[in-house]
Amino acid sequence: MPAPCNLVVLLSGTGSNLQAMIDQFRHADSLVRIRAVISNRADAPGLVRAANAGIETRVLEHAGYQGRGAFDEALMALIDGFEPSLVALAGFMRILSPGFVRHYHGRLLNIHPSLLPRYKGLHTHRRALEAGDAEHGCSVHFVTEELDGGPLVVQAAVAIAAEDTPDTLAQRVHAQEHRIYPLAIDWFAQGRLGLTPTGVVLDGHPLPASGHLIRP
Ligand code: GRF
């Protein structure tokens, strides 16, 4: 039986992905322990979700720090106090410094609402619709210094319907996010998932560049 996996979650907003993790990992024999939820915004609703689940919360606002590097140093110290095996970005709306990303190399995951490498950055649902794409989706990836560009772990695709709006599409993509993010974290906790110098490995086998792809 692998050792428990301490997870620290960083967020800035709603926290529906955090809620999916709470729901998935709350049972007593789960390997994943959500040790803390840290936000750069004191008003993030995700903090309430964490508190309601009895999870420790911290707020670290960037005001008062001289630049990104100083803030990220303080953030690392805060995170490391919880001795995480894994750090999960779940709607954490800050660009992270190269030093931060290197410090958590191979143990920092992010979820992004598109089928990467398509649509890095913001407004992904609108951009997929405007491009006339037949499908859209979401991706979990290891974080590297390239924004939304790290090695892919798992993607879930959703079909785009003619009547979709950015909002209807976002809802279906979100439902898939809530499925694949806990899945990837669970793989990591079980020791099945890792980042090696040659790429992402699942169950001892290299994953393709697209990661593990789940289709509707
Ligand atoms: C999600 O769409 C995720 O893909 C992106 O930020 C959003 C967070 O949503 N990185 P929530 O706060 O988990 O509801």
Question: pTM (2 decimals)?
Answer: 0.97
- CA–centroid distance, 201 to ligand 1, in Å, is 25
Residue 112 Cβ inside 6 Å of ligand 1? The answer reads: yes
Distance 172 CA to ligand 1 centre (A): 13
Phi, psi angles (nearest 5°) of residue 50: -65, -50
User: How does residue 129 score in pLDDT terms, banded at 50, 70 and 90?
Assistant: very high
**Phi, psi at residue 58, to the nearest 5°?**
-140, 150
- Strands, E assignment, 4-134: 5-11, 32-39, 56-59, 86-89, 108-112
What pLDDT, on the 0 to 100 scale, is given for residue 64?
A: 84
pLDDT of residue 104: 98
CATH code of the region 5-214: 3.40.50.170
Q: Tokens representing 135?
A: 């499908």
pLDDT for residue 110: 98
Return the number of other C-beta atoms located less than 10 Å from residue 184's C-beta: 24
H or E segment at 212?
Answer: strand 212-214
pLDDT tens digits for 145-174?
999 999 999 999 999 999 999 999 999 999
pLDDT digits (tens, 9 = 90+) for 56-103: 999 999 998 999 999 999 999 999 999 999 999 999 999 999 999 999
H-state helical runs in 28-142? 45-52, 67-80, 98-103, 124-130
Q: What pLDDT sits at residue 1? A: 73
Q: Which residues contact 144 (CB under 8 A, 6 or more apart)?
A: 101, 105, 150, 151
Average pLDDT over residues 195-207: 97
pLDDT at 2 over 90: no
User: Of all protein residues, whose CA lies closest to atom 7 belonging to ligand 1?
Assistant: 91
Quick one: pLDDT at residue 169? 98
pLDDT of residue 126: 98
Q: How far is the CA of 103 from the centre of ligand 1 (A)?
A: 23
Domain boundaries, the chain: 5-214
Of 10, 16, 122, 147, best ligand 1 pocket probe by most atoms within 8 Å of the beta carbon: 16
15 lines ligand 1 (CB under 6 A): yes
Mean pLDDT of the chain: 97
Please report the pLDDT score of residue 49 as a whole number: 98
Closest C-alpha to 7, from 94, 109, 77: 109
199: how many CB neighbours lie within 10 A of its CB?
Answer: 15
Confidence at residue 112, expressed as pLDDT on a 0 to 100 scale:
98
Task: Give the three-class secondary structure for 142.
Answer: strand
pLDDT at position 86, please?
A: 98
Amino acid at 30: S
Cα–Cα distance for residue pair 97/111, rounded to 1 Å: 18
